[in-house]
Amino acid sequence: MVLSKTVSESDVSIHSTFASRYVRASLPRFKMPENSVPKEAAYQIINDELMLDGNPRLNLASFVTTWMEPECDKLIMDAINKNYVDMDEYPVTTELQNRCVNMIAHLFNAPLEDSEAAVGVGTVGSSEAIMLAGLAFKRKWQNKRKAEGKPYDKPNIVTGANVQVCWEKFARYFEVELKEVKLREDYYVMDPAKAVEMVDENTICVAAILGSTLNGEFEDVKLLNDLLTKKNKETGWDTPIHVDAASGGFIAPFLYPELEWDFRLPLVKSINVSGHKYGLVYAGIGWVIWRSKEDLPEELIFHINYLGADQPTFTLNFSKGSSQVIAQYYQLIRLGYEGYRNVMENCHENAMVLKEGLEKTGRFNIVSKDHGVPLVAFSLKDNKRHDEFEISEMLRRFGWIVPAYTMPADAQHITVLRVVIREDFSRTLAERLVLDIQKVLHELDTLPAKVNAKLAMAGEEHGKNGTVKKSAIETQREVTAYWMKYVSERKTNKNKIC
């Protein structure tokens, strides 16, 4: 007896994925669909769209880790369903975080006894870490001002204009004035002397950057500590220092062990570092370490017991995954001091290969320093006909994502390109990037000048007509403003299309 059945329209088991009705119609973009789709179709549709993303390994704009060993990938996937906040349910994961905190604190030369536990916490990144450190500084300053019977409603932080946007977020969200030391051409980090001049009795801390986002340069924390110590003695204040070591915290101890930037300096009270940058872990892990218990006000720490036991917590969020904490511990014990040093040395060497290749073209000024985060920031020597934004745009055709951006005030007329050298950026890739940049330059040389040349010619024409001729800096600022507007409009139009 032959059995048969009628295949319903919803039965996709006999259809090819791309022959099914689920790929023949546009999926809803704003409202949840009424009906379900097969798991194979859902996967294929999403996977196809994601193919249009850039390749993370070729995303040279990002400091964030894009490769880990398969063994660590497996640990991450095995722990993907563990909520880190359930400390009583996952005590081993909590213990691994505490081990990471202690290891990093010792790496930063915290003044701890051999068996003394460090004071710190894992976060979802340096942004949260900076928020927590800033809150600790603010509360400690407020408590001191209240005890002295002085106003405590106008706290401020002194930073360089090169700080990452998370500092601006902290200042705005938690009502702290951000006093920025302006940059200048050829000096793209905070000047310690100018920073100390801006300190007053309402300054809750001075934030120094160990590895500027703009050019990778380390700020002089030692000089800042010395100048601030002198001012504190003269004024009777006790203004402390926070070091934002998001990028440089896992570099300096291995490449520049003699550099004094950490808890060896008495005014450094807290340090943040991104585990997902040169800590070599995928995105989603940061750390903040305090010098001692006295530097973290007890009233900021919450205690909960509804998950099974008393649990102290000092975070901005609550639930988060455990995978990145486990991955950080894996890297610390897998690589050890020797392994981290080898990785950082290799990154530095590849940065030098790229820098030398760019210098040989004769077309670029190198803006970054050899001493600092392994990256290369560079600008065109002559951008009258074509500029850095065009180079960035054309490199995307080869798959490279290389950002072009303007410096902050008062160096906003300077435009640079930046290539971040990560662990998975090999020497072969560095050499290939130089070749592709040369191809882009050759092609640009054959193209007519764009708006920057027109602006320059317009300025010369105005000069001939008796009007004031624009300086090179003024012309470059107009060019920069145009390109920023152009890029912004393109992004807006893409969003409208989507």
Mind listing the pLDDT tens digit for each residue in 56-70? 999 999 999 999 999
Nearest-CA neighbor of 478 among 383, 381, 363, 365? 383
On the question of pLDDT at 180 being above 80, the answer is yes
Domain ranges across the chain: 75-334, 337-440
pTM as predicted: 0.87
Q: Phi and psi dihedrals of 214, rounded to 5? A: -75, -45
- Asked: is 75-334 a CATH 3.40.640.10 domain? The reply is yes
More confident site: 477 or 428: 428
Residue 23: pLDDT band by 50, 70, 90 thresholds? confident
On the question of pLDDT at 72 being above 60, the answer is yes
pLDDT (tens digit, 9 = 90+) per residue, 213-235?
Answer: 999 999 999 999 999 999 999 99
* Averaged pLDDT of the chain: 89
Give 112: exposed, middle or buried? Use CB within 10 Å, 0-12, 13-18, 19+: middle
- Asked: is 337-440 a CATH 3.90.1150.160 domain? The reply is yes
Per-residue pLDDT averaged across 436-454, rounded? 84
DSSP letter string over 204-261? Answer: EEEEEEBS-TTT-BBP-HHHHHHHHHHHHHHH-----EEEE-TTTTTTHHHH-TT---
pLDDT in the model for residue 318: 83
Q: In this structure, are residues 60 and 402 in contact, taking their beta carbons and an 8 Å threshold?
A: yes
pLDDT (tens digit, 9 = 90+) per residue, 243-302?
Answer: 999 999 999 999 999 999 999 999 999 999 999 999 999 999 999 999 999 999 999 988
pLDDT in the model for residue 479: 60
Residue 46: pLDDT band by 50, 70, 90 thresholds? very high
